[in-house]
Structure formats: C-alpha cells, structure tokens
C-alpha cells in the first residue's frame, strides 16, 4: 500500500524514468531545499513510492543562462546508454524562456548542457518539453508549449540535440478563447504522450498552476498518429470543463503529469499537486513563500478508449501500490 504524497517536498513538473539499472528515477523543476538552490532535482526508487533523494543533477547551469533561476520542467529519456535531458531555462538578459537539451552518461547525471538553446521564444511559449520516439515511424519527436499559445510538436535530428533540418513545428492543441473562469483549456501546457492500445494519448495541463488562485488540472486528448490530429476529451464529451484529474478536498491544482509503467505492465499517472495543509514554502523567487507542489501518484486505467482514474482521485487514503 502507499499514501500520497510519494515525495513530500516541492517537486514540480515530474518525469519518472525506469532506467536499465532497474531503478526508477524522478526528475523535478529547480527549487530551493534547505536553503540551497538545486537546478535539477533527482530522486530514485525501486518501487515508485519510496524515494531516495539524490539532489543535484545539473551542477553547472548552461553558459547562456548562467544567472537563471528559471530552470523548469525536465524530461529525461535514455537511448543507447546516454541520457537526454530536455528542459526550459531563461537566457541571461532575455525576457522569454528557451528550450534546452543536456546529456549525461548515467541516469542521475551529471548532465551537461549542449551549449546553446534548442529554441527560443517570447514569454512562456518555449517551456515544458517532452521527447517521444514514435513506435510506428521511429521518428524522434519533441512536444512543448504554453504561454497562452498552442502545444507544438517537431521532429528532432538523429543526434537528439537539434531539430531535423527542414522540419517544421506543428500545432496540436490550442487554448480555448473566452473568459470562462472554470475552463481549464484557457491555457494549455505540459504535454506528455503515451501510446496504448493503438491510441496516442496526449496528456496536458490547463489554466493556472500556482499561487493563491491556482486552478489546474490534468487533461487529455487522443489520436491515431503521434502528430495528430488530436481530439480533446472535452470536445469528445462536449464539456469544456472535462478533466481527467482535478482538485478536491485533499489536493489543489493537480497537474503537469507523466505516465510510468510498473513491473507488471500497469500504467500510473504521477503529477504535482498543492497540499492544502502546507501550501507554500520558502521558494527561490518569493521570500514570502510560493506554491509547494508535492508529488502524487494515481493508478491509470482505460475505459471506452479514454484514460480514467479511480473515483475520488487524487486520494490521500492508502491505496494498492505499484508492482515495482
């Protein structure tokens, strides 16, 4: 059995990877812990619920963002014994953020930045990267996007350090216009693609992740091809307020999820959420405290072609644990 949270510290925007060494590794956004700034949080587990905190995975900031305290949303994948970290950072002297990539020879790092941004853009448009190898075509794809713009996808080059020459970004999910305060789709971000039973599920999150007025949820779309076209669950159900995982009495603003498969082949959804019992902490950019986003876990099932979670999720009561 396990009880949420599985990491009871600020650990936003998680990716969980099962490495060839048999351990699960979790990666989280930059934070301040015990007064020390950690650029890339890394933890490891043998069963997905009991985590050993390893600390810093990106000890040197990129030379183009040496003063940045905006190192966000890490995604790590392994290919041929090398580990590729895609993340967002704010270049020195810039207003907008950039996508970046770093490489390591071990799952806990140290990761070394490639030396230049992968893609730069205004505001928060270039954030939340997620790399995905399409099992049908073998294409290496990168998804990203926010800043009240769409979620994008573009093909990576064979070296995974740049985009394929001649490739172009394709918009997949657009935010909805209007001013409905309950519509999570007003802002879309945090793409995560998972292939299951012939469907490509594009999980994403919507609206406001943080702060006193946080209004965030895990949303989902599906397609028969990795690059779409995607239909959102909200559109399929004709319900603009549809969400896979939303706030309840136990957890506020759940979102920015990943999907991890346990040793028995069961899928699990991990994401961050705000604990109402301890909603803030001594953050890097706010001496008065900022949203403390801990790591929670829910079993993922599928019904009528869509992912589902158990009634009452996200839960705080004990639940059966992953198979490890």
Is 221 within 8 Å of 232 (Cβ atoms)?
Answer: yes
Picking from 230, 217, 208, 224, the residue whose alpha carbon sits closest to that of residue 298 is 217
pTM of the full predicted structure? 0.97
* Per-residue pLDDT tens listing for the chain (324 residues): 999 999 999 999 999 999 999 999 999 999 999 999 999 999 999 999 999 999 999 999 999 999 999 999 999 999 999 999 999 999 999 999 999 999 999 999 999 999 999 999 999 999 999 999 999 999 999 999 999 999 999 999 999 999 999 999 999 999 998 889 899 999 999 999 999 999 999 999 999 999 999 999 999 999 999 999 999 999 999 999 999 999 999 999 999 999 999 999 999 999 999 999 999 999 998 766 799 999 999 999 999 999 999 999 999 999 999 998
pLDDT value for 225: 98
pLDDT value for 221: 98
pLDDT value for 287: 66
The per-residue pLDDT for range 137-181, each reduced to its tens digit, is 999 999 999 999 999 999 999 999 999 999 999 999 999 988 898
Name residues whose C-beta falls within 8 Å of residue 280's C-beta, 6 or more positions apart in sequence.
Answer: 288, 289, 290, 291, 292
pLDDT value for 87: 98
Q: Which two tokens stand for residue 158?
A: 């064979």
Q: What is the CA radius of gyration of the chain?
A: 18
Class of domain 15-308: mainly beta
pLDDT value for 178: 80
Partners of 96 in beta bridges = none
């Amino acid at each position: 059995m396990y009880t949420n949270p599985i990491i009871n510290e600020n650990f936003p925007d998680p990716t969980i990877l099962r490495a060839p060494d048999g351990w699960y590794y979790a990666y989280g956004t930059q934070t301040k812990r015990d007064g020390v700034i950690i650029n890339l949080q890394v933890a490891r587990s043998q069963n997905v619920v009991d985590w050993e905190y390893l600390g810093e995975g990106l000890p040197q900031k990129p030379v183009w963002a040496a003063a940045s305290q905006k190192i966000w949303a890490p995604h790590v994948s392994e290919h041929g014994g090398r580990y590729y970290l895609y993340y967002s950072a704010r270049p020195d002297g810039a207003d907008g953020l950039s996508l970046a990539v770093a490489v390591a020879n071990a799952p806990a790092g140290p990761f070394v930045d490639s030396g230049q941004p992968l893609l730069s853009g205004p505001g928060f448009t270039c954030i939340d990267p997620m790399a995905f190898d399409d099992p049908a075509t073998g294409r290496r794809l990168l998804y990203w996007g926010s800043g009240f713009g769409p979620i994008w996808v573009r093909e990576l080059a064979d070296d995974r350090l740049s985009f394929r020459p001649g490739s172009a970004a394709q918009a997949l999910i657009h935010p909805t216009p209007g001013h409905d305060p309950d519509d999570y789709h007003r802002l879309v971000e945090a793409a995560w693609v998972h292939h299951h039973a012939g469907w490509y599920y594009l999980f994403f999150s919507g609206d406001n992740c943080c702060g006193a007025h946080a209004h965030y949820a895990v949303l989902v779309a599906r397609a028969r091809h990795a690059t779409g076209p995607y239909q959102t669950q909200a559109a399929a159900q004709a319900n603009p307020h549809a969400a896979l995982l939303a706030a309840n009495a136990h957890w506020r603003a759940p979102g920015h999820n990943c999907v991890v498969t346990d040793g028995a082949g069961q899928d699990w959804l991990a994401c961050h959420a705000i604990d109402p019992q301890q909603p803030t902490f001594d953050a890097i950019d706010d001496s008065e405290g900022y949203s403390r986003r801990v790591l929670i876990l829910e079993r993922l099932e599928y019904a009528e072609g869509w992912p589902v979670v158990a009634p009452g999720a996200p839960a705080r009561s004990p639940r059966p644990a992953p198979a490890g």
